[in-house]
């Protein structure tokens, strides 16, 4: 049982599972940033063209690169930089969406490593429909909606393919996702290669790129981003991503449908016995993940000023895979994905500042991200350490009720056998039992329907 605050019957907020997840993420971030600073120092000492002052500049840019305003004479200057901040939010938009894609699948017990392919399908649908409707003279607002929906629907259909294989043939979704990634890469390459009309042949040297949507006026409104961050690439796509993230949190935690998805993730067989259609929910989960990843591509290219290199059979888009660390750092929480996406984008901006303002290269920021992602896998270790600290805070009373941290750690480490009517015995995780307790009316209804069947 979670430790309750005396006299209130409520769990102390700083001991809740959500708070502990934030603590674990912050520990990962701080250690990663510290490692980055150490790397800056070591590289600076090994390179003769970097002075001690240059090392200090590198460290400052690692932590504050997004606030860099360039050089004032020979010294770095810092302050409000609308261009950097706006570009940070612009780059964060596809990361938030692909992070949501991975996080939602994780919540339902699936690993969506196919976000890259879904991102490409969304790109193909959005660019093709957007250009077609733009040339046809369709009103801008209608063309934007159609282009966005075309990308999202294509991504959802592509994401449903691994779900179908998982639901009906029990084939691991990781395998099918990897295969669909490269099928999508080749399919998109073929599509744009076969349609010369989409290629940007009007601009010299850009025949390898698709015509940007700004050429036909089908772009996302700025929604005051041009006022807040003048001169940057920021647009209303960021606010749309935030709204989608909030909507996904509401769906996953406040609706019957979200409960069913999480129940299937906790234990597919027990959910089936409770009357939940496990096959349908597995397919829908991957389809939703595909829609989210594709929406990231749609919002990215609907900005109008981004160019798409159509020979994708050579390389998968990084945004699809970068969604994995974004989801891990956010502990798969839809709201947390917003902040982890912004943070990852901030590191990317810092890397660019390192490249252009110092003798360092931008890959140091990639190392920091890699360290943070690696440490995020140790979240359970951090939770265990934190639980011990909290236990010490009770005066070492071994008879005290366990904290939510310890309860969660124990639940994730063990399963227990639960017998249910009809001689049906199945190992059911305690996570699923929690779901049963959260919404007993829903479960009762579903169970009765399943019993009748």
Residue 183 has pLDDT above 60, yes or no: yes
Contact status, residue 400 vs residue 391, Cβ threshold 8 Å: yes
Q: What is the mean pLDDT of the chain?
A: 82
List the single range of 103-112, 295-304, 331-340, 436-445 with lowest mean pLDDT: 436-445
What pLDDT is recorded for position 435?
58
Q: Which residue segments constitute the domains of the chain, with CATH numbers given?
A: 1-80+343-413 (no CATH), 83-332 (1.10.3470)
Work out the average pLDDT over 56-65: 88
Which H helix or E strand runs over 210? strand 209-210
What pLDDT is recorded for position 432?
54
Selected residue with higher pLDDT from 273 and 339 = 339
Q: How far from the centroid of its chain's Cα atoms is residue 278's Cα? A: 24
Work out the average pLDDT over 147-159: 97
Residue 9 has pLDDT above 80, yes or no: no
The 10s digit of each residue's pLDDT in 286-324 is: 999 999 999 999 999 999 888 999 888 888 998 888 898
Q: Given the structure tokens 């931008």, which residue do they identify?
A: 362
What pLDDT is recorded for position 366?
79
The 10s digit of each residue's pLDDT in 218-246 is: 999 999 898 999 989 999 999 999 999 99
What pLDDT is recorded for position 416?
42
117 φ/ψ angles, rounded to the nearest 5 degrees: -65, -40
In the structure, what pLDDT confidence band is assigned to residue 438 with cuts at 50, 70 and 90?
low
Residue 66 has pLDDT above 80, yes or no: yes
316 φ/ψ angles, rounded to the nearest 5 degrees: -85, 150
In the structure, what pLDDT confidence band is assigned to residue 255 with cuts at 50, 70 and 90?
very high
pTM of the model: 0.81
What is the DSSP track for 93-127?
HHHHHHHHHHHHHHHTT-----HHHHHHHHHHHHH
Length of the chain (residues): 453
List the single range of 44-53, 286-295, 368-377 with lowest mean pLDDT: 368-377
Determine the 3-state secondary structure of 7 from DSSP.
Answer: coil
């Amino acid at each position: 049982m979670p430790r309750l605050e005396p006299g209130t019957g409520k769990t102390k907020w700083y001991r809740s599972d959500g708070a502990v997840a934030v603590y674990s993420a912050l520990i990962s971030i701080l250690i990663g940033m510290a490692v980055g600073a150490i790397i800056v120092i070591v590289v600076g000492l090994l390179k003769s063209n970097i002075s001690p002052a240059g090392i200090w500049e590198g460290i400052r840019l690692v932590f504050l690169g997004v606030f860099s305003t360039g050089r004032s004479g020979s010294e770095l200057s810092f302050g409000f930089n609308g261009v950097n901040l706006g570009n940070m939010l612009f780059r964060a938009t596809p990361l938030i969406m692909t992070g949501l894609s991975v996080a939602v699948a994780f919540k339902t017990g699936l690993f969506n490593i196919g976000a890259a392919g879904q991102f490409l399908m969304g790109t193909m649908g959005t660019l093709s429909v957007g250009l077609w409707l733009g040339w046809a003279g369709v009103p801008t607002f209608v063309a934007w909606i159609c282009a966005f929906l075309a990308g999202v629907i294509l991504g959802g259909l592509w994401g449903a393919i691994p779900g179908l294989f998982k639901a009906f043939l029990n084939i691991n979704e990781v395998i099918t996702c990897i295969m669909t990634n490269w099928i999508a890469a080749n399919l998109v390459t073929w599509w744009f290669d076969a349609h010369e009309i989409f290629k940007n042949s009007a601009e010299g040297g850009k025949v390898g790129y698709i015509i940007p949507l700004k050429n036909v006026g089908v772009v996302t409104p700025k929604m005051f981003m041009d006022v807040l961050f003048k001169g940057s690439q920021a647009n209303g796509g960021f606010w749309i991503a935030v709204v989608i993230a909030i909507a996904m949190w509401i769906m996953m935690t406040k609706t019957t449908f979200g409960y069913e998805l999480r129940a299937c993730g906790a234990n597919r067989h027990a959910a089936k016995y409770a009357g939940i259609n496990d096959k349908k929910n597995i397919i829908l989960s991957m389809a939703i993940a595909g829609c989210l990843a594709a929406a990231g591509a749609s919002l990215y290219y609907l900005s109008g000023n981004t160019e798409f290199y159509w020979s994708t059979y050579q390389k998968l888009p990084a945004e699809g895979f970068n969604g994995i660390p974004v989801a891990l750092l956010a502990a798969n929480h839809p709201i947390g994905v917003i902040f982890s996406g912004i943070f990852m984008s901030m590191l990317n901006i810092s890397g660019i500042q390192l490249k252009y303002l110092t003798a360092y290269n931008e890959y140091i920021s990639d190392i920091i991200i890699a360290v943070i992602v690696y440490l995020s896998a140790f979240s359970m270790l951090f939770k265990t350490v934190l639980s011990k600290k909290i236990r010490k805070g009770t005066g070492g009373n071994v008879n005290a009720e366990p904290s939510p941290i310890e309860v969660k750690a124990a639940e994730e480490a063990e399963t227990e056998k639960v017998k249910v009517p009809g001689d049906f015995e199945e190992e059911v995780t305690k996570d699923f039992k929690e779901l049963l307790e959260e919404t007993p009316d829903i479960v009762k209804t579903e169970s009765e329907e399943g019993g009748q069947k």
